Structure 1
């Protein structure tokens, strides 16, 4: 399913969870890295305004749908894709890593949150090996020499899978750079997923997520930051809906 137009257009190229994990198993077996992005409406508002972000998205190997509007648009276009939020993928990805004895790494957020997430995951995923944890300083630039050093440190740690918790567009840009600097590592951009595991942020109750109201929960938790973001998201929905209808 394709979203947007021109250089800012993005294709969700993995439609189901089964297809995603089949692709991941194949890459791990061959010693290949990857960049995994989870597309949501906020990303679709940023892509036309940020050429670097658009270029980073084009460099992603695997793109899944994160957010019910993205899924609904695919259904309208009769090219359905499954809902796969980054936060929901963390534990299954860790289970796959533990099953295959693949060390993992965390990069982003802050040290307290990363160590809290590490403790939570070790308790939930027996045999999980976390070999590298690093939080960048304020103002971290994913296109800097400092970023290259961070990526080499991740690769040198022996990690085969690295969760990036920097938020968009930084995490997707760092993942794209990682494909060149650390080609044997899989980079998964998970946003606030590690903060949720660490208890630093509280995720919407399951019933709200089932009713597609997680956006409302997050707006209530942080109105100054989230209300303008969601306003931009709602503003592009009519255009995306028309494009999806035409795709039918």
Structure 2
């Protein structure tokens, strides 16, 4: 858990108040060097709302070493509370920085999640972009969360970083259930990042990202996300009306 004076709490979820660069250099890189186990949650309003509705899931999020703000709605809520967060830390960007660092330092990575075809494309693209990266292993996301053999397979690979793309809430549930079996490892749920790396989904243009409108771009490109966007509006409504 993060220290109280380093975080901003939104609906009982403590968000680390830092920049992406500081998060990497002051928190994650030192823990990787010391082989300290870490659980990182890249949280957006959807995750916060799910945690509000599911006590067990909330406890999982609260048990993470770090919860970072991946969503403009989180920044808006913090600002409305007069406790502004320094910046949004997108899980996708964080993943790319971690891959680069792992290549430089000789750390190994495991890629867990997505469809088999997408998972294979991810590994192929990562090999292309980071030719010196050690890939400990990879596996698609179609398995039961409590499957002990899957967890044992990842553990045997002995990775330094485990990127888990099982979607919300499965990725955080899998990490929380199995991480104690590992002696080391940076565990991070990265949602749809595999789809972006594999070229299955296009990320918003940089201008949209700079304007904190990446959510709107996704909605335009994927109208089926509308129900998920409604959760964002519900989240902001609760913040504005100070119901939480």
Deviates more, 1:184-193 or 1:26-35: 26-35
Which residue does 1:121 correspond to in 2? 126
* Distance (Å, rounded) in 1 between the aligned partners of 2:198 and 2:167: 16
Which residue does 2:105 correspond to in 1? 100
Q: Does 1:72 align with 2:71?
A: no
* Distance (Å, rounded) in 1 between the aligned partners of 2:117 and 2:223: 24
**TM value normalised by structure 2:** 0.89
The Cα offsets for residues 182-222 of structure 1, whole Å up to 9 and x where unpaired, read as 24121111100011010111222222222222222222233
Which residue does 2:210 correspond to in 1? 210
* Distance (Å, rounded) in 2 between the aligned partners of 1:46 and 1:180: 24
* Distance (Å, rounded) in 1 between the aligned partners of 2:23 and 2:208: 26
Match of 1:3 among 10, 23, 28: 10
Extract unaligned runs of 5+ from structure 1: none
Deviation of 1:136 (Å): 3.1
Deviation of 1:106 (Å): 0.4
Deviates more, 1:67-76 or 1:38-47: 67-76
State the number of aligned residues.
Answer: 235
Which residue does 2:220 correspond to in 1? 220
* Distance (Å, rounded) in 2 between the aligned partners of 1:63 and 1:183: 21
* Distance (Å, rounded) in 1 between the aligned partners of 2:17 and 2:235: 23
Q: Does 1:12 align with 2:12?
A: no
**TM value normalised by structure 1:** 0.87
Matches within 5 A, 1:73-88: 73-76=77-80, 77-88=82-93
Cα pair 1:151 1:182 within 8 Å, conserved: no
* Distance (Å, rounded) in 2 between the aligned partners of 1:243 and 1:16: 26
Cα pair 1:141 1:170 within 8 Å, conserved: no
